[in-house]
Amino acid sequence: MAFASDKEHMRKKERIMLNEQFITLGIESSCDETSIAVVADGRKILSNVISSQIAIHTKFGGVVPEIASRHHLQNINAVLQQSLDEAGVTLSDVDLIGVTNGPGLIGAVVIGVATAKALSLASGIPLVGVNHMHGHVSANYLQYEDLKPPFLALIVSGGHTNIVDVTDYNTCRVLGSTRDDAAGEAYDKVARVIGLGYPGGPKVDKAAKEGNPDAVQFKRVYLEKGSYDFSFSGLKTQVINYVHTEKMRGHELSVPDISASFQQAVVDVIVDEAVSAAEERREEKLVMAGGVAANSKLREEMQKACDAHGIRLYRPEPVLCTDNGAMIASAAYYKYRKNGADGLDLDAYANLPL
Amino acid sequence: MYILAIDTTGPLGSAALLDLETEKTVMKISAEEKGHLKNLMPLVQSLLEQEHAAPADIAAVAASVGPGSYTGIRIGVTSARAFAQALNIPCIRVGTLDMFRQKAEDRDAAVIFNARRGQVYGAVYRKGGGAVMEPCPCMLEDVYNCVKENGLNPVWYGDGIDAYQGSEQFGKYLEGAECADKSERYQTAGMAVREALRLYRAGETCRVEELLPEYMRKTEAEQKLQDGSLERARAAKLARFRSR
Ligand SMILES: [Zn+2]
């Protein structure tokens, strides 16, 4: 771990004090990344340290909650130190502590919240609990300095597929959601069935690059007109049945072709729904958020469709789409400005509505 | 200056402050079962207020590190680590079963924490505090046999009593046993802070990253990976999936 030299440290500290920036520490531990970031004025990333557990969970074929919790505990203090060092600040420079307090794997969320609460009591820094999904939306404020609500957001992740009306920094009105599996969940299940394993999203995305998206005709599932809801479990079943039938016939499976065809079907539906929602509601801004927003195909097709319809698309860099502390710091900053601090009795929740 | 101790390994979380000058201890216990995360920091805050002390008056932070409830252990250890990191002070690692040595001053003591299906985390101390059975994961039967073989007459402690007393399958091992009253039965931060004081005086403090949980067992996933049953389960699941 690199420590900033004293001189560099002093210089940065002076700069911060001169500019009177408001420093927020963002803590994220809701799934398989331990991440802590330092963000100035809710918008500027001074550091964003992410310690991923992907390598640890790969041998189990998916995230094992108990193991994730054990690793969060072991890593979080070093991640904190590294984050402060990289930002060139000390804890005493921090004005606010933001932490994901749901939704997520409860045993994992607990580690971030316990850390944030103890830091808050020991140092006297105010504390704010953040909805992880608000964090994902807020990643866009870090990427785009000029972005302000209201706007329409497409949130796609392992647990969510939502079209959301973001009316102000703290309010997300859900217009559409998945009626069964989230997009990311469908990716994980398909990845398992075709033998790609964990983590499903990036692995299918990668395999799809070598495959033909028209190789297998999977039916696109659209729900009734006027609804912005999604359904992905039918598509997942189609893939499972296809794999089964091909095996029965003794055919060799092409993992790249299945990946590409499945991915195309998912992306087609998401892009169509998101863009038509924006059209119908005359929204000029469409914002992407969540882990699946890092998917290369989805990013590419969303850009094409938005360009064709004269909609401005906002999409954070992939590193800001995956779970990270900076997005939590940004969301915390805006929540604190509106509602003030939370008490030391802040709790963690596996489920937390948007 | 004070030592702060935290115990969230059992059903009720607690925090204690020990004044290093007077060795006087104050403790607060949560009234809510399993409310560890929510209640722990407010308990610490009200202890500090009661003592007219500030976080900066704390010289070291002790955590009861387990065994016990996995999530509970982690809440206590994580809180202690962050508290120590913020104040740049040392930690003290207190084994949760070791704390019961204090109970064996004038009587033998047997400790059993419930680990389900007849399993316990157990320890047995002879009058005077010598360990006859060091803290370990074992069967209730093993603790029972240890007590019998060594001719001990202990008072029993721990939530294993509540789990197995009167149980059809395992109740026989506790038949006629002298069990501590509920007010004395469980681990508390008050016990932790006394053990912490001993360690602190002996110079046995540690750095934040060394304050680690004592789970005493591998996770189920790790056990299954090791014995090959994870692979078998996965293959079977895939076969079921495909045969639908
Ligand atoms: Zn996420």
Any idea where the domains of chain B sit in the sequence?
2-96+187-220, 98-185
Q: Which residues does residue B60 pair with via DSSP β-bridges, in sequence order?
A: B3
Per-residue pLDDT, A4: 43
**Distance from CA of residue A105 to its chain's centroid?**
14
Residue B236 has a pLDDT of 78
What's the pLDDT score for residue A21?
95
Task: Tell me how far the alpha carbon of residue B44 lies from the centroid of ligand 1, in angstroms.
Answer: 32
Q: What share of chain A is helix, strand, coil (3-state, %, to 5)?
A: 50, 20, 30
- Tell me, what's the pLDDT at B235? 76
A175 touches chain B (CB under 8 A): no
Nearest-angstrom CA–CA distance, A214 and B140 = 62
The CB-side HSE value for A88 (13 A sphere, CA atoms) comes to 17
The pLDDT of residue B47 is 98
- Give every residue of chain A whose pLDDT is below 50, as ranges: 1-4, 18
Taking CA–CA distances from B89, the nearest residue in chain A reads: A122
Considering only residues 278 to 307 of chain A, which have any Cβ-Cβ distance to chain B shorter than 8 Å? none
Q: What is the pLDDT of residues B42-98, one digit of tens each?
A: 999 999 999 999 999 999 999 999 999 999 999 999 999 999 999 999 999 999 999
Which residues does chain B have within 8 Å of residue A69's beta carbon, measured at their own beta carbons?
Answer: 70-71, 74
**Residue B45 is nearest to which of A59, A121, A346, comparing CB atoms?**
A121
Asked whether the domain spanning B98-185 has the same topology as the one spanning B2-96+187-220, the reply is yes
DSSP H stretches of helix in A53-175: 54-58, 65-87, 106-123, 132-143
A73–B222 CB contact, under 8 Å: no
Q: What pLDDT is recorded for position A3?
A: 41
Q: Separation of A103 CA from ligand 1 center, angstroms?
A: 9
Taking the Cβ of residue B40 and every Cβ of chain A, the question of whether any pair is shorter than 8 Å is answered with: yes
B98-185, what's its fold?
Nucleotidyltransferase; domain 5 (3.30.420)
Using a CB-CB cut-off of 8 Å, the residues of chain A touching B220 are: 66
Q: What is the pLDDT of residue B232?
A: 81
Looking at the complex, report in whole angstroms how far the Cα of residue A109 sits from the nearest Cα belonging to chain B.
Answer: 11
B209 touches chain A (CB under 8 A): yes
In the predicted structure, residue B242 carries a pLDDT above the cut 70 = no
Give the ipTM. Answer: 0.93
Measured between CA atoms, how close is A215 to chain B, in angstroms?
21
Tokens of B161: 């009593």
State the pLDDT at residue B233. 76
List the CATH code of the domain at B2-96+187-220. Answer: 3.30.420.40
Instruction: Sort out which chain A residues have CB atoms less than 8 A from B71's CB and list them.
Output: 69, 106-107, 110
- Residue A103: closest CA among A27, A31, A201: A31
Q: How high is the pLDDT of residue A8? A: 57
What's the pLDDT score for residue A20? 86
Token readout for A126 is 């105010």
Beta carbons of A75 and A51 less than 8 angstroms apart: yes
Q: Are A58 and A197 in contact (CB under 8 A)?
A: yes
- Residue-wise pLDDT for B12-53, tens only, equals 999 999 999 999 999 999 999 889 999 999 999 999 999 999
Instruction: Decide if pLDDT at B244 tops 70.
Output: no
Which of A64, A193, A240 minimises the CB distance to B219?
A64
pLDDT at A287: 98
B17's CB contacts (< 8 A; 6+ apart) are B2, B3, B4, B5, B25, B26, B27, B47, B48, B51, B53, B58, B193
Asked whether the predicted pLDDT for residue B118 surpasses 80, the reply is yes
